[in-house]
């Protein structure tokens, strides 16, 4: 009784394992690669599938949905020897499971390394400014470069996006210093231009002031000459007009000094009496 029970349990367990190995349910979005005694036999599509137990074995389970591959950040040297940091993300799809599993050891790692290598090559052909501003161009060239190789591995590269592309910390510091120096240079040029314009305007103002002073002096001289001429015509003597005008200027100056609020003492010229006497003496009959 005990031995028969054990045999029955063993047979039931064997049958259960056989059914489990022979009946498989492939979920949607996957395809399973089946081998017959270690050799590729067929690919199971989604749904209920039957296998020959113990001789057929599911070797690979391939996801046929879009696969997201994150390409790690790496340093890239541009053509002008600038170091930048860049990373990417790729969207691929397995279109041929047989090539994907038998054509390369690890298709995900293979695509990731190919993207990194191609990205270094593309950016290395560009100047720093061009690399930082040509993200779409880099993306297009990157996808085009790896598309053919991916087909040989049964993969379709649907899209490659450049997540980030930026100068390295040391390069950022150098760029900030350069920008600061450029701003300082522009500020210095602006100040110099301002000072130049100020000096030009001041010089023009001095020239204009001198010109006007000269014109005023000429006008005053002409007025004095005209006054002397008229006095000479009225008096008929050459020396008298000059002495008359000189005495008039003395008297005018003394009047202004006397009228000043701050005038406490008036110092008269030593020759004023002689001047006035000479002026008055000319008019004595």
- The 10s digit of each residue's pLDDT in 130-185 is 888 888 888 888 888 888 888 889 999 888 888 888 887 766 666 667 677 777 77
CATH code of the domain covering residue 103: 3.30.479.30
Q: Is residue 218 part of a domain?
A: no
| Token output for 173 | 């510091």
231 — pLDDT class (breaks 50, 70, 90)? low
Residue 131 to residues 88, 119, 122, 123: CA-CA distances in angstroms?
14, 11, 9, 6
91-112 in b/e form (b: 16+ CB < 10 A) is ebebebbebbbeebeebeebbb
> Which structural domain, as residue segments, surrounds residue 16?
2-63
Are 238 and 228 contacting, i.e. CB atoms less than 8 angstroms apart?
A: no
Shared domain check, 267 and 234: yes
SS3 157: strand
Sheet strand arrangement including 83-94: 67-77, 83-94, 155-167
283 — pLDDT class (breaks 50, 70, 90)? very low
Shared domain check, 160 and 83: yes
Distance CA 37, CA 169 (A): 56
pLDDT digits (tens, 9 = 90+) for 89-140: 999 999 999 999 998 888 899 999 999 999 988 988 888 888 888 888 888 8
Q: Is residue 134 part of a domain?
A: yes
Shared domain check, 166 and 73: yes
Are 75 and 83 contacting, i.e. CB atoms less than 8 angstroms apart?
A: yes
Distance CA 85, CA 90 (A): 17
- What was the pLDDT predicted at 32? 92
Shared domain check, 164 and 72: yes
% the chain with pLDDT above 90: 12
- What was the pLDDT predicted at 239? 58
- What was the pLDDT predicted at 246? 62
Shared domain check, 107 and 167: yes
Shared domain check, 139 and 71: yes
C-alpha distance across the termini of the chain, in Å: 183
Question: In degrees rounded to 5, what are phi and psi of residue 95?
Answer: -105, -20
Final residue before a domain boundary, out of 33, 63, 93: 63
Q: Among the ranges 186-200, 209-223, 227-241, which has the highest mean pLDDT value?
A: 186-200
- What was the pLDDT predicted at 285? 45
| Lowest mean per-residue pLDDT among 39-48, 59-68, 74-83, 262-271 | 262-271
Tokens 């989604």, residue? 46
Q: What number of other Cβ atoms are within 10 A of residue 244's Cβ?
A: 21
Final residue before a domain boundary, out of 157, 172, 187: 172
């Amino acid at each position: 009784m005990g031995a028969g029970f054990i045999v029955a349990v063993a047979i039931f367990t064997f049958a259960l394992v056989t059914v489990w190995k022979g009946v498989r349910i492939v979920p949607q979005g996957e395809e399973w690669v089946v081998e017959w005694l270690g050799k590729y036999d067929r690919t199971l599509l989604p749904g209920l599938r039957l296998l020959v137990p113990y001789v057929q074995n599911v070797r690979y389970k391939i996801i046929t949905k879009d696969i997201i591959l994150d390409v790690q950040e790496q340093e890239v040297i541009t053509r002008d020897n600038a170091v930048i940091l860049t990373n990417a993300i790729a969207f691929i799809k397995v279109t041929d499971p047989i090539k994907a599993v038998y054509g390369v050891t690890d298709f995900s790692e293979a695509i990731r390394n190919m993207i990194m290598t191609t990205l270094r090559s593309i950016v290395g052909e560009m100047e720093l400014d061009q690399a930082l501003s040509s993200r779409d161009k880099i993306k297009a060239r990157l996808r085009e470069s790896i598309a053919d190789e991916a087909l040989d591995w049964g993969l379709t590269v649907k899209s490659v996006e450049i997540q980030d592309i930026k100068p390295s910390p040391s390069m950022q510091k150098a760029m900030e210093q350069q920008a600061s120096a450029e701003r300082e240079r522009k500020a210095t040029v602006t100040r110099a231009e301002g000072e130049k314009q100020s000096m030009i305007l001041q010089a023009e103002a001095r020239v204009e002031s001198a010109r006007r002073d000269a014109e005023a002096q000429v006008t005053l001289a002409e007025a004095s000459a005209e006054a002397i001429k008229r006095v000479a015509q009225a008096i008929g003597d050459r020396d008298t007009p000059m002495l008359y005008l000189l005495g008039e200027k003395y008297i005018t100056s003394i009047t202004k000094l006397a009228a000043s609020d701050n005038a406490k003492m008036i110092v008269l010229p030593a020759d004023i009496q002689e001047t006035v006497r000479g002026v008055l003496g000319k008019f004595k009959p």
